[in-house]
Amino acid sequence: MSKKIAIGSDHAGFEYKTAVLAFLKDEGYIVEDFGAATADSVDYPDFAHPVATSIENGQNELGILICGSANGVAITANKHQGIRAAIAWQNEISALARQHNDANVICIPARFIDLELAKKIVKTFLTTDFEGGRHGTRVNKIACT
């Protein structure tokens, strides 16, 4: 795989992040892990900001963020210009986030889905292309000027 992927989590997503990271490496992706390094309690912005920044500056192409509900990491990542972070708890939502919204960060709610579904959501996110067209027009209206 040629895509460079950033991944990060807080303590609630640490177990899933560890498993998803191993899964992605087995799939041949180049993955940069921004932490957390343990399941000890941490603050999700400390990991969501570096993942988003790495995409903003072109260091990584896509990002994966995992926390308990996915809300905190999504809100944080979406503060960055050019980041379109989407929460996905079903595989179809992951596909639509890429196809229709050109999402570049997927946010996984570890407390609400099982690990196998999380891996499937991530794989769909990484292998689905943006459709462009009318969706491109809409995506271009997202950024504040």
Contact 28, 6 (CB under 8 A): no
H helix or E strand, kind and range, residue 109: strand 105-109
- Assigned token pair, 119: 């891996």
Sign of CA dihedral 41, 43, 48, 50: negative
Contact 18, 74 (CB under 8 A): no
Q: Is 80 a catalytic residue?
A: no
What DSSP string describes 56-76? HTTS-SEEEEEESSSHHHHHH
Q: Is 67 a catalytic residue?
A: yes
Contact 97, 127 (CB under 8 A): no
* Catalytic residue chosen out of the listed positions 11, 49, 80, 100: 100
Q: Per the omega criterion (within 30 degrees of 0), is the bond before 36 cis?
A: yes
* Catalytic residue chosen out of the listed positions 11, 67, 80, 107: 67
Q: Which positions are annotated as active-site residues?
A: 67, 100
